[in-house]
Structure 1
């Protein structure tokens, strides 16, 4: 039975809950995550495919309006059996709302092959690392190096703390950015930083929590996890220099996986790693996760005149618009 596309700006809670219920392991479909993005300045939108029997597929999207261009971000694409119906509907919605850029991401997506090429200006292959928490023994799926480093952490007296207080948030931002700087120093291209505003939004809206590795009063590793009913996603993390020597990162991810499993979470997504981050890939695979091949893409839905103006402004700023 063919599906019909619908788009709803500022969707009602009932519709958001239906979308979340289709994929309960996805933290980016929840009402709490919708509230996070609204607090950070975006308008929420629901994109849905319906049949005669009701909702078949759906996701949340977020609209930001600028002076030159308005952008629609799809944070986590759903599985799409009929891409043409979905993307035709998205582009029709963009024309109605005068949206000129669509960014299609696949964070926590079960799978996402973006085969629709019309209006596409960029395309990127990416990977995420998904740990199946329904496995009976998480210790057995890890490699020897992970075992050794977790034992080192325990011998060093490291313990886990779950705390969302202001001090924990400040430490998280500091250590997460320290880790990003470390990766930049190793030649990785990273054009973002961890901001307190984002951390506050996740925690204050009930969309996530902080988990940290401590010894005494000192924090050696930290992670912000986004939560849904049966899923969790490692949103950002960081480790101190001493913590790296003591196996704090491996200890943090393993102990987090264990308490998530005890709380009936079935999927712990360890996040992504680009093709140049071999060490990060090995770290996540060593914890027993499976690599999931995904894609992301950007589409330009504005008219020819807006494309010319946008390109000219980009050149003045020293950049170039992808074509």
Structure 2
């Protein structure tokens, strides 16, 4: 094994999905399709919101932030993953591995934060509509967006530095499709309890805080909706939230499964854990533009006009 110094490997070898090597070529087909939809779908969402002035509202600004996060998150993993599946390009240098690790964890935290920001926007829009524009001004939206990014950077920036301080055993093979923190930590010698505890604690605290606040926001929304004088008004109010609730359920269900398998799932096969971990990074970025594009009336109408104008 080539060494960068006495303690760190020069390259890691990504195995892909252990136990499913013979069918990885077939698995790559839906993964590639999901990435294509995620890549072009999020770009379309960004362009529509950028050039359609009627969409320059807090909710769509947060959708744009989410789309940019999804683009980076999916692009940081899928191209390398396809290289493993199709061309057996398994090597990844140490610095590139640390960079990928940081991007994956930090941008996942950003996605969770933007979901919370969107829930807060829906809460203000439904529960306090007269003050919506005053509470969520452009400056406030920008401040919220920067806060979400800053929080993710601060909490997950230590990850690469933690790994660089550790001593690696004579093994540079990562049984995963990407450089996931826990998978890399398992290659180190000595006691890594503190490193694992830090990562799991930070991830669980951010996820639990965002999810709890999101649930609280929707509890208040439902209370307001059910107190509206007419059923039609309540249905109209809830229709603006269905897209958001759908993507939140997909994101947190896969995220929770991934977290729990790290903590308690010692009897779960690695192929199941790694497959769900890939779904966790690929499905939400794919679904977000589809759900928001189809279920959000303003985006859908603009997309239809663009397609009709281009003759598609």
Same topology, TM > 0.5: no
Q: Give the structure-2-normalised TM-score.
A: 0.23
Higher relative contact order (CA 8 A, sep 6+): 2
Name the structure with the higher helix share.
Answer: 2
Q: Give the structure-1-normalised TM-score.
A: 0.22
